[in-house]
Amino acid sequence: MATFDKNDDSVVVIIGSGAGGGTLGNELAQKGIKVVCLEAGSRLTLSDIKNDTGEMFMKLSWLDPRVGSGQLPAGLPAWICKTVGGTTVHWAGAALRLQPHEFKGATTYGRLAGANLLDWPTTYDDLEAYYTKAEDKLGVTGTNGRPRLPGNNNYHVLAYGAKKLGYKDVHTGNMAVNSREYGGRPKCQQIGFCMSGCAIGAKWSSLYTEIPAAEKTGNFEIRPESMVVKINHDSSGKATGVVYVDKDGATHEQKARMVCVAGNSIETPRLLLNSASSRFPQGLANSSGQVGRNYMSHLTGTVYAVMPGEVNLHRGTQMAGIVRDEDAHRPERGFAAGYELETLPAFGFPGVASYMKPGGWGREYAGDLAEYRNIAGLWIVGEDMPQESNRVTLHESVKDKNGMPVAHVHYQDHPNDVAMREHAWKQATAIYEAAGAKRVYTRLPFPSTHNLGTCRQSARAADGVCSSFGQTHDVKNLFISDGSQFTTSAAENPTLTIVALAIRQADYIADQMNKRNL
Amino acid sequence: MHKQDFERARRAFLKAGGSAFVLSLIMGGGFATFVAHAGPLEALSEDQAKALLAMGRTLFPHDSLDDRYYQNAVNALDTKAAEDAQLRDQLLEGIGQLNAGGSFAGMDEEMRVAVLKKMEDSAFFQTVYGESLNGLYGNPEVWKIFGYEGSSVEHGGYLERGFDDITFIPKDS
């Protein structure tokens, strides 16, 4: 394990250690490039991971203050992580490629009033080889010869109903959860607590893959509990390092040859905006005014069904179950883009009681909860429209313990999102009714775990923040390395694409360093 | 129906946010750690506690469960109210409203439901709702009764213990 001097300006500083930052750090370290990774959260080990939804929520989540508005919960606008490994500790493991047409949102969907659609400057073909690399890194089931996972009871209810309705593309998905031993990680034991952290490491997380692998190279240092508050630059407009606060509240500067930001789509724009200077008064890399805008969180929703027999949906891999037939763009349904239906992580009995019908009470509701064993559920995840007014800004008055303005996150559905959710609720209800449901509950999103788009890729500097490689248009040694890069959200869970982009970005950075362009 | 659900949930979200109950109501109903509370009462009288117990039983009626499963939330509220004058005032005022038309605990269920329906939007209702939900459905003893099995890793997960033992529909091949 390496340690680097804070004045060593030959290191690449990466902010965040999740799917983007953790992957990029390891890829660069493997190439012999020196990396200091600054992570706001603390470092857990597998023995810290318990099968306890409440305890793990408190251990993993980003609970620093944020302000939500629009339709977001005011105090918890998003549910993401603050821990080494970031949201890869918490994710369910669904690892899907985006579809080729989804990289061309503006071209495919045409003009939609209020939607700030743009084609990605990256195509599916640009990313295809990197998707394969990402799938091999994560050990994704159902790809490159790896078998799919077996389905749990909740999957069988979904599959039975879906096939009765005529759906064809129904299976246990492409999961970064081992169906057999792979990558030094064991086979999934169907424990049922994926989103509280996988206690045996069968699910890929950068916490116990990328980060230790990077440390072994001697080129990588991770500093947990190090919250970056500002990116510095010189008079030529080049990034020179970052200012961060350690766990004792002491402030440090780490010099850098290059800075890569991977703090998830709320913290990444917050940091760029907080790095405003006389040269960059709108914030760093924000000459377009697009930093923080086009915040997307996926069109989501949930459906629960009380079935005629036992499901015990807490048993088994939470999200290994998918219906993909609705993920194409078929405007005759009354909306653009598409969605997936995926088996639901139920978050235990108290989770079902809280979320099946928020605010629900009385004899009918309690009666359905008493049939907990018989409850099945699915999660809707679809493409939401980018809107300029959905955005992350610095809050005017609320500050965190370091004195940094907190993120104000605003989100309101686009009419296309509303139409898609209505369609998905209707189809999901039909699926469960076809399987014999006694009652079906449809409900709105949980606080978002998919946060995307706030520093989007664009071909033209005026339309977005960074290039196809995540390099910011304004500051050439500043990179965006997380889901903030997404130009549009697409229907698929985003992690695999974040990993593929990070591997590709590492190749680009190494190539540019060799050519002495960076 | 969807539109109404949407509006109702949205309002619940907005209301919950910004208050101290954001975690307990939105995430924490599910994710707060359950703590067992035992008497004696500190802030509330026996009669006041009885009204809250009747409220819990009306919100989440399970005739097969005896009072002790509902008492836990009442005791939790009492403990918190002993340290928080504002909460105590909120509870006392709310209990006063429960009893405005006669002893709430003495009413039949239909009447209790009618009283609560009128109070659904109050902060008092939200407080007791969140605590009752967590106190009841967060209790591992209640999990056992309704079939939630809790931590599984120490038993080797469900790979050999019924993750795919469904019987009421044919299994996907």
CB atoms within 10 A of CB A278: 5
Going by the DSSP 8-state scheme, the letter that residue A483 receives in this structure is: G
Q: Nearest 10 degrees: CA dihedral of A117, A122, A128, A133?
A: -110
Reply yes or no on whether the pLDDT at B3 is more than 80: no
Give the pLDDT confidence score for residue A498 in this predicted structure: 98
CB pairs under 8 A between A and B: 215
pLDDT at B33: 61
The mean pLDDT of A161-171, rounded to a whole number, is 98
Chain A, residues 24-83, CB within 8 A of chain B, namely 50-55, 57-58, 68, 71-76, 79
Contact A73 B26 (CB under 8 A): yes
- What mean pLDDT comes out for the span A463-484? 98
pLDDT in tens, A185-215: 999 999 999 999 999 999 999 999 999 999 9
Give the span between the Cα atoms of B88 and A191, in whole angstroms: 42
Q: How far is CA A381 from the centre of its chain?
A: 12
- CA–CA distance, A483 with A262 (Å, rounded to integer): 8
Whether the Cβ atoms of residue A19 and residue A137 lie closer than 8 Å to each other: no
Angle made by CA atoms A485, A486, A490, in degrees to the nearest 5? 170
- pLDDT band at residue B173 under the 50/70/90 scheme: low
Other CB atoms within 10 A of residue A356 CB: 23
Whether residue B17 is predicted with pLDDT greater than 50 in this model: the reply is no
List of chain A residues whose C-beta atoms are within 8 Å of the C-beta of residue B6: 444
* B58: nearest CA partner in chain A: A362
- Return the residue in B31, B63, B110, B144 with the most chain A beta carbons within 10 A, the one to mutate for interface testing: B31
Position A253 pLDDT exceeds 90:
yes
Let me know: does B158 contact A315? Beta carbons within 8 Å. yes
- With contacts defined as CB-CB under 8 Å, which chain A residues touch B55? none
Pick the more confident residue, B7 or A37: A37
With vertex at residue A126, the alpha carbon angle to CA A125 and CA A129, rounded to the nearest 5 degrees, is: 80
> Residue A431 forms beta bridges with which residues?
none
Place of tokens 């960059």: A280
Cα–Cα–Cα angle for B58, B59, B61, rounded to 5 degrees: 60
**Looking at the predicted structure, is the pLDDT value of residue B9 above 70?**
no
Of A190, A373, A447, the CB nearest to B158: A190
Question: What SS3 class is residue A340?
Answer: strand
Angle at A483 between CA A290 and CA A252, to 5 degrees: 85
- The whole-number pLDDT of residue B32 equals 56
Contact B27 A57 (CB under 8 A): yes
Per residue in A356-381, pLDDT (tens digit) is: 999 999 999 999 999 999 999 999 99
Query: In the numeric block, which tokens belong to residue A171?
Result: 């299976």
Nearest CA in chain A to B21: A75
Instruction: Report helix, strand or coil for A269.
Output: helix
Token pair of A29, please? 């370290």
Predicted confidence (pLDDT) at residue B12 exceeds the cutoff of 90:
no
Phi-psi domain of A413 (left: phi exceeds 0; alpha: psi -120 through 50; beta: other): beta
Interface test with A, best of B8, B57, B164, B165 (most A CBs within 10 A): B164
Average pLDDT of the residues in A261-281: 98
Do A343 and A152 form a contact (C-beta atoms < 8 A)?
A: yes
Taking contacts as CB-CB distances below 8 angstroms, the residues of chain A near B165 are 153, 310
Distance CA A378, CA A302 (A): 6
- Distances from the Cα of B64 to the Cα of A239, B59, B98, B146, angstroms: 66, 15, 25, 11
Cα(A288)–Cα(A465) distance, rounded to whole angstroms? Answer: 7
pLDDT at A475: 98
Residue A299: per-residue pLDDT: 96
Whether the pLDDT of residue B146 is over 70: the answer is: yes
Q: Is A372 in contact with B147 (Cβ distance < 8 A)?
A: yes
- Mean pLDDT for the stretch of residues A299-314: 97
**So what's the pLDDT on residue A445?**
87
**pLDDT tens sequence across A125-137:** 999 999 999 999 9
Domains of chain A plus CATH, in order, are 12-514 (3.50.50.60)
Taking each helix axis from N to C end, the angle separating B123-137 and B46-59, rounded to the nearest 10 degrees, works out to: 70
Apex CA A332: angle with CA A326 and CA A334, to 5°? Answer: 85
Q: Tokens for A291, please give them.
A: 């930093």
Which residue of A53, A75, A188 is in closest CB contact with B31?
Answer: A53
The two tokens of residue A400 are 């965190």
Question: Which site among B153, B155, B165 would you substitute to test the A interface, given the most A Cβ atoms closer than 10 Å to its Cβ?
Answer: B153
Q: Rounded distance, CA A60 to CA A67, Å?
A: 19
Choose among A76, A189, A366: nearest Cβ to B61. Answer: A366
Q: Is the dihedral of CA A411, A412, A413, A414 positive or negative?
A: negative
Q: Which of B17, B60, B150 sits opposite A75 (nearest CB)?
A: B17
pLDDT over 90, % of chain A: 96
A188 touching B (Cβ < 8 Å): yes
Check: CB of residue A300 under 8 Å from CB of residue A446. Answer: yes
Neighbour count for residue A415 (Cβ, 10 Å): 13
The per-residue pLDDT for range A427-460, each reduced to its tens digit, is 999 999 999 999 999 998 888 889 999 999 999 9
Task: Give the 3-state secondary structure of residue B82.
Answer: helix
